[in-house]
Amino acid sequence: MHSTPRQHGRLDLCFAHRVDRTTAVRSHAAAPLQCSRLRYDDPEDAALANLSLIHLGGILDGDHYELAIELQDAARARVVGAAATMVHPRLDYGATQQIRLRAGAASQFCWWPGALILNAGAQITQQVTLDLAADADLEWLDVVVPGRLARGERDAFVSFESQLTLTVAGRRRALDRLVLQPRQRSPARRGMLGATPVLGTLLLVGPRRHAATIAPLLPDATVSIGCTDLPGGGGVLVRCAGASLSRVLGALERVCLAARHRRT
């Protein structure tokens, strides 16, 4: 898909390990993206760098976003979205978003952005490229909401296309592609999402990540959730569908926190 950018938002982050903590050696955001100051407010990990990402105004038709994140060896950081991001109606072009992560040896990174809410008429294409060292540890979340559900809006968007490519130690480990096009095939159909329209994906990558240890951590039947090992091992893909954003986020957060404690 070709797009004529209305806004070209950029995020460029580089984290490095310095003495007893991780710091940002490069932090640049171009509107409408904004970053908070770096914080060390995790009560269980005072050396972990925490940063909030703010997306002002949502994603408009024709917008293009580039997010580049790098973790040098032994760096440990977490980036959390301040709120969900609205994707506004398509006019002519649709919007695009590219996210690239490079994580060095013994690094740890947690990506917990706000959900994408696909308003009526919205169209967006997303490409995610993850390049990890062999012993890097990653928690990567992606949640999609098919409209403003509280207003009774569902599956009125045009299309959502997302492709995630994971490379570990120079070898491609996973290629995950998700395409939702309600006008061609309704996600509400039986055998697809049905009554659980909110879709979340949690990718856990690391030497000690295995579905056998994650499966017992999955929550009860308030959501539809399952997990599988990545090809070649060293990672788990968790997929969750639920009736609301809060249920999906809550379920995936519980899995993530429990897996994090079990890892250590």
Q: What is the pLDDT of residues 26-80, one digit of tens each?
A: 999 998 899 999 999 998 898 999 999 988 888 988 899 999 999 999 999 999 9
Output the pLDDT for position 3. 43
Output the pLDDT for position 5. 52
How far apart (Å, rounded) are the C-alpha atoms in residues 250 and 12?
A: 29
State both tokens at 256.
């993530």
DSSP 150: G
Closest CA relative to residue 25, chosen from 61, 66, 69, 55:
69
Q: What does the pLDDT average to over 5-12? A: 83
Domain segments of the chain: what residues? 8-186
> Long-range contact list for 243-250, CB < 8 A, 24+ apart?
243/195, 243/196, 243/197, 243/198, 244/149, 244/198, 245/84, 245/115, 245/143, 245/145, 245/149, 245/198, 247/198, 247/222, 247/223, 248/143, 248/198, 248/199, 248/200, 248/223, 249/115, 249/143, 249/200
Tens-digit pLDDT profile for residues 243-254: 999 999 999 999
pLDDT-derived band of residue 238, with 50, 70 and 90 as boundaries?
Answer: very high
Answer for the pair 11, 28: CB distance below 8 angstroms, yes or no.
Answer: yes
104 pLDDT exceeds 60? yes
Tens-digit pLDDT profile for residues 122-164: 999 999 999 999 999 999 999 999 999 999 999 999 999 999 9
How far apart (Å, rounded) are the C-alpha atoms in residues 26 and 178?
A: 32
166 pLDDT exceeds 80? yes
Of the chain, the percentage scoring pLDDT greater than 90 comes to 72
Average pLDDT for the chain: 91
User: What's the Cα-to-Cα distance from 136 to each of 74, 75, 133, 140, 240, rounded to whole Å?
Assistant: 9, 10, 5, 13, 24
Q: What are phi and psi of 57, to 5 degrees?
A: 80, -10
Of the chain, the percentage scoring pLDDT greater than 70 comes to 96
Q: What does the pLDDT average to over 91-116? A: 93
In a 10 Å sphere around its CB, with 0-12 CB exposed, 13-18 middle and 19+ buried, how is residue 74 labelled? middle
Q: What does the pLDDT average to over 221-236? A: 89
Q: What does the pLDDT average to over 198-223? A: 89
pLDDT-derived band of residue 2, with 50, 70 and 90 as boundaries?
Answer: very low
Q: State the residue for tokens 């250590």.
A: 264
Answer for the pair 219, 248: CB distance below 8 angstroms, yes or no.
Answer: no
170 pLDDT exceeds 90? yes
Tally of CB atoms within 10 A around 21: 15
pLDDT-derived band of residue 263, with 50, 70 and 90 as boundaries?
Answer: low
